[in-house]
Amino acid sequence: MTRMQPTGVSRVRTLSFTAAATAREATRARDRVRRWAWANDIEADTIYDMVLAVYEAIANVIDYAYPERPGSFTVQGRATGGRVTVQVSDHGQWAPCSVPRASNRGRGIALMKNLADHVELRHDSQGTDVVLAWNTVDLPVDDSHEPALDSSLTGQHNDVEQRDTDGDLVG
């Protein structure tokens, strides 16, 4: 395992912030997620996968969630008990991408699926949640004082789940 944690960084088990759904804020969010992961002493390869998958989820918010109006996204993360979970949420309505479709577009979910151990997509009239999780062996297990980010995250395999507004699996 390769760790290159910057000096002077202490563990922060949770992460939570909201930002405008813009390319500039997506870049800042990517850097925040990276710093948070380093602070939790997560393996470098996992950090790379996590940052890229979270950035892709945020890019999808920018491209699809708010076609007619400005919007925002929220990132929540939790690192404990051998598992790292990051959720990207928006309150928009999915619409066709405003960016012209090219041959290099439309691979975001497949990319996230290949980068994370667990991917869950939930969409309803209130917005979309993308939940990404990675199994790690080096995080402390004592997390009894911290509630789970999402109690439905029990999958330990590389899969994609899509749920409707009633919580039922779609597809």
Nearest alpha carbon to residue 81 among 39, 138, 120? 138
What's the pLDDT score for residue 143? 46
**HEC assignment per residue over the chain:** CCCCCCCCCCCCCEEEEEEECCHHHHHHHHHHHHHHHHHCCCCHHHHHHHHHHHHHHHHHHHHHHCCCCCCEEEEEEEEECCEEEEEEEECCCCCCCCCCCCCCCCCHHHHHHHHCCEEEEEEECCEEEEEEEEECCCCCCCCCCCCCCCCCCCCCCCCEEEECCCCCEEC
Q: Give the chain's domains with CATH numbers.
A: 14-95+108-143+157-170 (3.30.565.10)
Two tokens, residue 73 = 């996204």
In this prediction, residue 137 carries a pLDDT of: 67
pLDDT in the model for residue 158: 40
Q: Is 66 exposed, middle or buried (0-12, 13-18, 19+ CB in 10 A)?
A: buried
The span from the CA of 139 to the CA of 84, in Å, is: 9
| 11, 53, 75, 84 from 40: Cα distances, Å | 5, 18, 16, 10
- Residue 135's pLDDT is what? 93
The model carries a pTM of 0.73
User: Per-10-residue mean pLDDT for the chain, 171 residues long?
Assistant: 46 90 97 95 94 96 88 95 94 71 70 96 93 80 45 38 47 43
> Which region, left, alpha or beta, applies to residue 96 given φ > 0 means left and ψ of -120 to 50 means alpha?
beta
